[in-house]
Structure 1
Amino acid sequence: MPPIKRALIFLTGSAVAQAAASLTGLLLARWLIIEDYAIYTIMIAITGAVTVLTRSGVHLGFSTLLGRSWPDLTRAGQILRAAVHLRRIVSMFMLPPVMAVTVYLLWENGAGSWLVLAMLGLLFLYWWADMRTQMLDQVLYFDKQTTKVQTLDTLLSIARACFVATLFLSGGLTVIWAVMASVGVAIARMVPIGIWVRRKLPQPPHELVPSDRETLRQTVMKEMPVTIFVVFQGQIVLLVLSLAATSAEVAGYGALTRITQLLVPVQAFVFAFAVPIFAKRKAHLGRTLTTLVGLCTAPGLFLVATALVFPAGLLWLVGPNYADLHTEIVLACIMAMLIRTAGALRGLVSHRGWLTYNWLSIPINLAWIAAAPFVFDLGTISGALMFQMGFSLGTITSALVDFAVARKRGL
């Protein structure tokens, strides 16, 4: 199938999947009480942090090695084993502090002991399922099986939406069931992804090649400080709101970010198409990078324009509890556009193994953190959103420096 046709099919499926996921999030914003939605907002943020932290650099090294060796399937199996092995080790160090932060944020937002324990159990289940799908699906993307993966994700998103709607109609919808629905999608994804990858790769056990482990370890060591800091950036907003405001502000922030999840297909496009394209490209890298990042930015510009022209329409999606956040919805859309664009740029550059100056984002964003309390009211949703959007500065700067230095060296 031609690449353009595959991309169009993928984006169509991604749009349907995201429409179902967004519908679920928006319905939860409408149906859950404000206090419960604040808890849900925290859990969605933490599950995202678990994925990012436990993959810390592993997925970048994995894509780099896979891009160099593809379509050698024996090597793909070896690289996958080394990547999964190292991710388990990284998880041993990352999960305990994530669990501790989860407990603190939940308590600050009024969760009782039993609810906290239930959420920790669900968080562990999510990590367990994520370990068995993330990176495996990258093999399928390299093998041009994106349509198959996207169909699965679309069906699971629709099933989740139907499950949540059924619970609401039956009067049984609570924050625990809402989080369970998200975790259930991750668990349901395991079996088909595992079957498809096993059909493609040679039968295990695959050899654990020391050079692969060392390459991946070096990538993790380069990436881990920045990854930890990036996750810290995301959680500091919720932490500040939890300390300086009430659960109503936390819920409002979460509701607005649900609307900005309409841009999630951009991230799916980056990993399914843009990364393999850019990782294997041998010439015209600057033009290719500009084109791919431009494609990733366009949906964000459209969302910002919609928020400026018709903010009430977007706010209607999350229900009457948040109907007066007209200024905030515009800021939320700008923030989402900047964060997605910066993430796409950094992801494309990093997946070629260009990580030397990734650390630059740390001092830049530390300076932003130091300055923000003097510029913004961080106890408000508007202040929190402007605070969040500034973190894209460090990401963009470090990616551009890495790209420029790599090209200067002829890489």
Structure 2
Amino acid sequence: MKVAVQNLPLPSKYAKIIEWGKLITITGSAQLIIQVIGFLSAIIVIRLLPTKEYALYTLANTMLGTMILLADGGVSTGVMSQGGKIWMDREKLGLVIATGLDLRKKLAIGSLLVAVPILLYLLLHHGASWLMASLITLSLIPAFFMSLSGTLLEVAPKLKQDIAPLQKIQVGTNVLRLILVGLTIFSFPWAYIAVLASGLPQIWANLQLRKSSYKYARFDQPADPLITKEILSFVKKILPGAIYYCASGQITIWLISIFGSTTAVAQVGALGRLVMVLGLFNVLFSTLISPRFARLANDKRILLGNYIKIQIVLFALMALIITIVWLFPAPILWILGPAYANLKNEMVLNIAGSCVALIAGSSFSLYTHRGWAIKPIILIPLSIAAIAVSASLIDISTLHGILLLNIYVAGFEAIMHVLFSLIMINKIKVKTHGITE
């Protein structure tokens, strides 16, 4: 006799596994497409730009990242931290995002005033004419301003874990970027054209993000003075560290651009494109892990358990990536073209340094999304001391030496951020049945 089987609710453990499986599948598959398209765009630029032009392109892209980081100054992290507390309320979440957008506009001016003279100096130092240096600098402006609002407009969908629309927008943006790069770089192999073609699609992306974000946050409101004060208090804690990371996060490029040759700058930039595979993990982390960690209850056991699981998984994945690159360097370097075929050891060192930096960055992201920050008076002197000691032991005028320095610095930062995360979590009291122990 056949028995009718009724649809019973799954145990919470299996429901969570299914939920995470769906999220990772949606995000992972979309990010795989995004990374492949982005990688194709990068390879087109590497292969078609002359070595000197690619060196200038590398400097411009590095400075763009620095400008965005300076203009953010911890605002996006502060918005995520504040938003994680009231993410169910559309009005309040919108007010937090509107305040963040207002703050970023003000910080953007200061970022431009600091970054533009430095970029012009470096471009001229590596042989660009005043006209070319000016065109490259101007080509950064659209990408700079669009990226500033783009990351804040993603906060609401990330907190709500409405991931699919974000992935569609990112796929569309990268397709547009590939088309623009493909149409322009063949006929105009100049650095400023490549920079402009890469940045313009972000305008379309922001228009789509506004529509997606507005469903969960009504951000067409004036900035709130009280929220401004709260975010700024967090920014004051994190800004000195953010300024430091502008330098240390791209220390490879900065040092090689000052002490090395133009060819070495191009080589570092080309190797950096191979690290794009790690972008998949970065996006998965910032989309799925950090927002959920920000939402967790302030309970020591819950936070510590989740934190340790995250770090174990990250460490295993990074070890696997380094092993694959070490075993198969030649086929991977073939992608970059013959000009970079002799960089086998350097490629392994570059990937290793990037993997360690990703582990450091994950801890930094997790604890800042909880509203925690290392005191700059501790962070910066220790980090500078680590760089100074490492640099005194290595020949930083060579590409090999610069990449070794990158590993040492990233390793120090990883240890520091992991220890700080554990210390902060350990300070939280355990809750049992609603009672704090």
TM-score range, shorter chain: over 0.9
Confirm or deny that 1:375 pairs with 2:417.
Answer: no
- Which residue number in structure 2 is paired with residue 184 of structure 1? 200
Displacement of 1:203 in angstroms is: 6.8
- Which residue number in structure 2 is paired with residue 125 of structure 1? 142
Q: Which amino acid aligns with 1:195?
A: K
Question: Bigger CA drift: 134-143 or 219-228?
Answer: 134-143
Residues 365 and 393 of structure 1 are in contact (CA less than 8 Å); yes or no, is this contact kept in structure 2? no
Amino-acid identity (%): 21
Residues 55 and 87 of structure 1 are in contact (CA less than 8 Å); yes or no, is this contact kept in structure 2? yes
- Which residue number in structure 2 is paired with residue 36 of structure 1? 53
CA distance in 2, matches of 1:370, 1:156: 40
Residues 357 and 402 of structure 1 are in contact (CA less than 8 Å); yes or no, is this contact kept in structure 2? no
CA distance in 1, matches of 2:185, 2:415: 45
What secondary structure, in the 3-state scheme, does the structure 2 residue paired with 1:51 have?
A: helix
Residues 346 and 399 of structure 2 are in contact (CA less than 8 Å); yes or no, is this contact kept in structure 1? yes
Confirm or deny that 1:173 pairs with 2:228.
Answer: no
Specify whether residues 203 and 52 from structure 1 end up closer, same or farther in structure 2 by C-alpha distance, changes over 3 A only.
Answer: closer
Residues 37 and 175 of structure 2 are in contact (CA less than 8 Å); yes or no, is this contact kept in structure 1? yes
Residues 361 and 397 of structure 1 are in contact (CA less than 8 Å); yes or no, is this contact kept in structure 2? no
- Which residue number in structure 2 is paired with residue 334 of structure 1? 352
Specify whether residues 228 and 71 from structure 1 end up closer, same or farther in structure 2 by C-alpha distance, changes over 3 A only.
Answer: same
- Which residue number in structure 2 is paired with residue 293 of structure 1? 311
Residues 66 and 246 of structure 2 are in contact (CA less than 8 Å); yes or no, is this contact kept in structure 1? yes
Specify whether residues 168 and 74 from structure 1 end up closer, same or farther in structure 2 by C-alpha distance, changes over 3 A only.
Answer: closer
Q: Which amino acid aligns with 2:213?
A: V
Confirm or deny that 1:392 pairs with 2:410.
Answer: yes
Could you report, residue by residue, the CA deviation over 1:11-56 in whole angstroms, capped at 9, with x for unpaired residues? 1101110111112112221221110110111111111112211111
Specify whether residues 198 and 381 from structure 1 end up closer, same or farther in structure 2 by C-alpha distance, changes over 3 A only.
Answer: same
Counterparts of 1:168-317 in structure 2 under 5 Å? Answer: 168-169=185-186, 171-202=187-218, 204-206=220-222, 208-282=223-297, 283=299, 284-317=302-335
Which of residues 338, 352, 363 in structure 2 aligns to 1:320? Answer: 338
Which of residues 370, 379, 383 in structure 2 aligns to 1:365? Answer: 383
Displacement of 1:173 in angstroms is: 3.2
Displacement of 1:159 in angstroms is: 2.6
- Per the normalisation by structure 1, the TM-score is 0.94
Q: Which amino acid aligns with 2:393?
A: V
- Which residue number in structure 1 is paired with residue 130 of structure 2? 113
CA distance in 1, matches of 2:428, 2:255: 44
Specify whether residues 265 and 297 from structure 1 end up closer, same or farther in structure 2 by C-alpha distance, changes over 3 A only.
Answer: farther
Confirm or deny that 1:134 pairs with 2:162.
Answer: no
Question: Bigger CA drift: 54-63 or 195-204?
Answer: 195-204
Point out where structure 2 has 5 or more consecutive residues left out of the alignment.
1-17, 430-437
Q: Which amino acid aligns with 1:116?
A: A
Displacement of 1:267 in angstroms is: 1.5
Which of residues 37, 45, 62 in structure 1 aligns to 2:62? Answer: 45
CA distance in 2, matches of 1:112, 1:260: 30
Specify whether residues 165 and 209 from structure 1 end up closer, same or farther in structure 2 by C-alpha distance, changes over 3 A only.
Answer: closer
Specify whether residues 51 and 393 from structure 1 end up closer, same or farther in structure 2 by C-alpha distance, changes over 3 A only.
Answer: same
Displacement of 1:360 in angstroms is: 3.4
Question: Bigger CA drift: 179-188 or 318-327?
Answer: 179-188
Could you report, residue by residue, the CA deviation over 1:227-281 in whole angstroms, capped at 9, with x for unpaired residues? 1011112444323212322111000011111101210112111211111111111
Residues 46 and 102 of structure 1 are in contact (CA less than 8 Å); yes or no, is this contact kept in structure 2? yes
Displacement of 1:394 in angstroms is: 4.4
- Which residue number in structure 1 is paired with residue 101 of structure 2? 84
Q: Which amino acid aligns with 1:272?
A: T
Q: Which amino acid aligns with 1:387?
A: L
Which of residues 372, 376, 383 in structure 2 aligns to 1:354? Answer: 372
Confirm or deny that 1:60 pairs with 2:60.
Answer: no
Q: Which amino acid aligns with 2:177?
A: R
Displacement of 1:350 in angstroms is: 1.0
CA distance in 1, matches of 2:350, 2:91: 45
What secondary structure, in the 3-state scheme, does the structure 2 residue paired with 1:135 have?
A: helix
- Rg larger in structure: 2
Could you report, residue by residue, the CA deviation over 1:271-326 in whole angstroms, capped at 9, with x for unpaired residues? 11111111111242112112223334444323211221111111111110010011
What secondary structure, in the 3-state scheme, does the structure 1 residue paired with 2:220 have?
A: coil
CA distance in 2, matches of 1:138, 1:319: 39
CA distance in 1, matches of 2:373, 2:228: 17
Specify whether residues 122 and 166 from structure 1 end up closer, same or farther in structure 2 by C-alpha distance, changes over 3 A only.
Answer: closer
Could you report, residue by residue, the CA deviation over 1:109-153 in whole angstroms, capped at 9, with x for unpaired residues? 111111111122122222221233121111111122211111111
